[in-house]
Amino acid sequence: MSLDIERHKEKLKDTSPQFNLVPFIDILFTLLIFLVVTSSFSGAGIQDAADGATGKPNITDTTGNSEYYLIPVAGLEKVIVNGQDMSPLIKDHAIAVQTKVIDEGEISIKPKERSIIIVTPPGMSPEQAVRSPQ
């Protein structure tokens, strides 16, 4: 029984190569799902001043509707609302600001001065605008 090598070579020349992409796509989707599941979608936590914080507010997780939102600033020492000093309300370098102030008022965060200057919407008192974090 002899092998016809020439005929086999001609047969190989006539066929074009076929690439099966299904296994490649399966692996690609598996890696994509793994990366999506293992990545972290939560906001950054509150940083300490010793951690080299920039002074900018961090995103904090909240659930449901909140009347006040926490604004943390590294080394926060001074809070001025409509020209009135509300610094005694600072707790753990953060202050709670009313939702309406965030939506309709003006908040200026000055990390170098370690202060926050807040202008409330018309008709809102400084006592309503900010409070001590709980």
Question: Residue 120 is encoded by which pair of tokens?
Answer: 């409330």
- Is the predicted pLDDT of residue 46 greater than 60, yes or no? no
- Is the predicted pLDDT of residue 58 greater than 60, yes or no? no
∠ CA(82), CA(87), CA(88), 5° rounding? 125
- Please state, in angstroms and rounded to a whole number, the distance separating the CA atoms of residues 47 and 51: 6
Which pLDDT band holds residue 63 (cuts at 50, 70, 90)? Answer: low
Q: Is residue 109 helix, strand or coil?
A: strand
pLDDT at 25 (0 to 100): 95
Which pLDDT band holds residue 31 (cuts at 50, 70, 90)? Answer: very high
pLDDT at 55 (0 to 100): 53
Q: Where are the domains of the chain?
A: 5-38, 49-131
> pLDDT over 90 for what percent of the chain?
13
At residue 62, φ and ψ (nearest 5 deg) are: -135, 150
What is the value of pTM for the model shown?
0.49
Per-residue pLDDT, averaged over 101-110, amounts to: 87
- Is the predicted pLDDT of residue 114 greater than 70, yes or no? yes
